Amino acid sequence: MKRVLVILLLLIVQLGFSQEEKKAQIKDGNTAYRKENYVEAENKYKEALSGTSDDKKISNFNLGNAYYKQGRYEEAATQFEAAAAMTDDKKAKAQSYHNLGNSYLKDKKYEKSIEAYKNSLRLNPEDEDTRYNLAYAKKMLQQQQQQQNKDQNKDQNKDNQEKKDEEQEKKDENKEENKDKEEEKKDQEKEQNKDGEGEENKDKQEQQPKPNQLSKEDAKRLLDALNNEEKNVQEKLQGQKVKAKKVEIEKPW
């Protein structure tokens, strides 16, 4: 029995020592935090997380603050959510929700920050800082939505303009293609006309008499003239023969 009591006493002493150690770690973390040595504070708070439930509540909350100061807002939000879930004290829970809202606000997650501030005000309606942050978060959400709509319209206008540019480019290509076809057609017609004129000129050249060469008409006229002349000659000769018969020819001696 005495042996059991000794063991129990040792456990109590060890547990008490452990609790004191965790409290000392939290205290060291707070000291480092005030000196703005947030990495060292983070490490001390992490060491204290293995302590009692009260130590865990404090360590979670303080660790969230250390993360927040380092700009690690997502990790800070996780710690503040844990701290809020671990306590039933309205003031402590409200403060956890307030800091949770701040973390979401810094991370530009305005809808989540608004919800966190509302949860904080439900627990502590008199907190003017939380009320002010809630109004600010609503304003930032409105601006964010307006910017998103503006960007969306800008992207839509850009898409429409690109579509118009593509259509205009196709029109220009078709216009240029039709122009090329028209010019090609004109060149072909011009070439055909040129070939036709060449053939016509060739026919005319063939019809025109060459130097020292009679045309068909001239040759015909000349032939007719020759025939007429020959006819006249024949007629003259015939006339001469008739007269010759009437002339008395002297006999030779």
Among the candidates 144, 160, 187, a domain finishes at 144
Query: Looking at the predicted structure, is the pLDDT value of residue 19 above 80?
Result: no
High-pLDDT (> 90) share of the chain, %? 45
Question: Is pTM, for the whole model, over 0.85?
Answer: no
pLDDT at 16: 43
What confidence tier does 137 reach under pLDDT thresholds 50, 70, 90? Answer: very high
Residues 63 and 113 in one domain: no
Tally helices (H) and strands (E) across the chain: 8, 0
Residues 139 and 109 in one domain: yes
Residues 25 and 50 in one domain: yes
High-pLDDT (> 70) share of the chain, %? 72
In a domain, 204, yes or no: no
Full domain range(s) for residue 111 = 86-144
Q: Which has the closest alpha carbon to 100: 122, 121, 84?
A: 84
More confident of the two residues 245 and 102: 102
pLDDT at 201: 57
Query: Looking at the predicted structure, is the pLDDT value of residue 15 above 50?
Result: no
More confident of the two residues 225 and 100: 100
pLDDT one-digit tens code per residue, 84-117: 999 999 999 999 999 999 999 999 999 999 999 9
pLDDT at 250: 36
Query: Looking at the predicted structure, is the pLDDT value of residue 7 above 90?
Result: no
CB 32 within 8 A of CB 40: yes
CB within 8 A of 51, min separation 6: which ones?
18, 19, 22, 23, 25, 59
Residues 66 and 98 in one domain: no
- Token couple for 216: 């068909």
The domain total for the chain is 2
pLDDT one-digit tens code per residue, 150-162: 888 888 888 788 8
In a domain, 245, yes or no: no
In a domain, 40, yes or no: yes
CATH number of the domain enclosing 125: 1.25.40.10
In a domain, 110, yes or no: yes
pLDDT at 35: 95
